[in-house]
Chain A
Amino acid sequence: QKEVEQDPGPLSVPEGAIVSLNCTYSNSAFQYFMWYRQYSRKGPELLMYTYSSGNKEDGRFTAQVDKSSKYISLFIRDSQPSDSATYLCAMRGAGNNRKLIWGLGTSLAVNP
């Protein structure tokens, strides 16, 4: 079993839909939770990060962490065709260990 599981999709939604992207994990020591967006043939781009539990909102994006269920989510409101990309979750523990554990990514297509 991988430490981080992420449904690869593809996920296809109409423009304006609310998108929910999710990752589950098994290591209760994870404290930092990140979402990256990766356009085709480009490098990942850090979208959101949260420390420990709770919600964080940035414009149309909301990141949620439920540590009791070992489940994290990224919500995209009013999705746009420009949101079409692969979304990667990543996480790590506290302290000086910088090793990130990555999900494999969910491919999202927002159709006009």
Chain B
Amino acid sequence: NAGVTQTPKFQVLKTGQSMTLQCAQDMNHEYMSWYRQDPGMGLRLIHYSVGAGITDQGEVPNGYNVSRSTTEDFPLRLLSAAPSQTSVYFCATTRRGDSMNTEAFFGQGTRLTVV
């Protein structure tokens, strides 16, 4: 049982390049989300999904796309990387209807640098 797996762990991109950050979970959780964490800004929600085929925007969605074709996977795509997207990205999951109503499991993060 791996929990939430993010790949890659580190990535350096040139401005204008595109890439996909992968997130996979094996807990059959309906709810998945992507956050970015920046010094002085804390954790900010980029996009989230309440189940396969359903996605919605969070607080800072511009420059990012997501899709959710399966329960297990929730990739985050950077369309044209910009230096402002240099950050640490976290994927999180929780079970729908969980009484705590919050993100319960986080991945280990992807450290992205855009030069």
Interface residues of A (CB under 8 A from B): 32, 34, 41-46, 49, 51, 88, 90, 92, 98-100, 102-105
Interface range, B side: 20 to 34
Contact assessment for A99 and B102 in the assembled complex, using a CB-CB cutoff below 8 Å: no
Given contacts A43-B90, A44-B90, A105-B42, contact A100 B108 (CB under 8 A): no
Task: Give Cα A67 to B26, complex, Å.
Answer: 37
CB distance from A35 to the nearest CB of B (A): 11
Q: Is the CB of A46 within 8 A of B45?
A: no
B101 contacts which of A44, A98, A103 (Cβ < 8 Å)? A98
Contact B103 A46 (CB under 8 A): yes
Q: Is A103 in contact with B106, judged by CB distance below 8 angstroms?
A: no
- Per-residue interface assignment for chain B, residues 84 to 115, with 1 indicating a CB less than 8 Å from any chain A CB and 0 otherwise: 00000010100000011111111111000000
B79 within 8 A of A: no
Q: How far is the CA of A31 from the CA of B68 in the complex (A)?
A: 29
Given contact pairs A43-B106, A46-B102, A49-B102, a sample of 11 additional A-B residue pairs in the complex whose CB atoms are under 8 Å apart: A32-B101, A32-B102, A42-B109, A43-B4, A43-B108, A98-B31, A99-B45, A102-B43, A102-B44, A104-B41, A104-B42
**B40 part of interface (Cβ distance < 8 Å):** yes
Known contacts A34-B102, A44-B90, A45-B106: does B42 contact A102 (CB below 8 Å)? yes
Instruction: Let me know if B48 is at the binding interface, CB within 8 A.
Output: yes
Which one of A34, A42, A99 lies within 8 Å of B108 (CB-CB)?
A42
- Contact yes or no, A100 B103, CB < 8 A: yes
CA distance A105 to B39 in the complex (A): 10
